[in-house]
Amino acid sequence: MAVASDDRRTAFETEALPHLDAVYRLALRLSGDEAQADDLVQETMLKAYRSWHQYKSGTNVRAWLLTILRHTFINEYRKAKRAGPTVDIGEIEGYYVFHEVQEVDPEGEFFKQIVDDEVLRAIDSLPDEFRETLVLSDVEQLTYAEIAEVTGVPVGTVKSRLFRARQALQQRLYDYALEMGYIKGVKR
């Protein structure tokens, strides 16, 4: 059995561990807490290692790991509601920001002035299901079909969540840019 165990260790090291950063990033965005993210990642990787025989070689190992992470988070970690305000996703008007800036900054130059931390904070203000969809797509670059598989919803739901999440986030970042004076508001 020592040989089988070594094989698994080698396979896990070369195939699963390269995705540790992705697993960590999603853990951070889901839990909103570094210590909890550490525990969540460790537990996810332990579960993945133990059930490595269930992973089909050649399929997307990152999506598989992120699925385990998400289940672990929902079943064992998500106890209290996250602190902090969440944006209202119900009121999203499509392409609102472009219509606001098309005369002053149609190429979206103002985005360049917004730093990483502010973008992550804005992502964290999205409601759970919109935040996870956006992170899986825009941070981890999963396809719609992979996101549907990880989050357990139809592709159509992924599309509509992604649209609303991206537009809500954009609106929030635009409001921030206005506040910081990175862009001038249009007089109406």
Partner 1 sequence: MSAPRKIDCQAAADRLYEYLDGELTPDAYDEVRAHLEDCALCFKVFGFENTYLAFLRARTRAQKAPEHLKKRIFKHILFDQDSAESQ
- The site for partner 1 (CB under 8 A) is made up of 5, 8-9, 12-13, 17, 20-21, 23-25, 28, 38, 41-42, 45-46, 49-51, 53, 94-95, 98, 101-102, 106-108, 111-112, 114-116, 119-120, 123, 135, 137-139, 141, 143-144, 159, 162-163, 166, 169-170
The one-character DSSP state at 126 is: S
Q: Choose between 80 and 129: whose C-beta lies nearer to partner 1.
A: 129
Tell the smallest beta-carbon distance from residue 49 to partner 1 (Å): 5
Tell the smallest beta-carbon distance from residue 36 to partner 1 (Å): 12
Structural tokens at position 121: 């904070």
Report the C-alpha gap between 35 and 14 in whole angstroms: 26
Tell the smallest beta-carbon distance from residue 174 to partner 1 (Å): 10
Question: How many residues does the structure list for the chain?
Answer: 188
Structural tokens at position 156: 């159509």
Q: Choose between 86 and 96: whose C-beta lies nearer to partner 1.
A: 96
Tell the smallest beta-carbon distance from residue 107 to partner 1 (Å): 6
Provide the residue type at 51 as one letter: S
Q: Choose between 88 and 117: whose C-beta lies nearer to partner 1.
A: 117
Structural tokens at position 23: 């697993």
Structural tokens at position 107: 């190429």
Report the C-alpha gap between 182 and 137 in whole angstroms: 27
Give me the helices (H) in the chain, please. Answer: 2-11, 20-31, 34-50, 61-72, 96-101, 116-124, 128-134, 144-151, 155-180
Tell the smallest beta-carbon distance from residue 8 to partner 1 (Å): 8
Q: Choose between 108 and 127: whose C-beta lies nearer to partner 1.
A: 108
Q: Choose between 45 and 92: whose C-beta lies nearer to partner 1.
A: 45
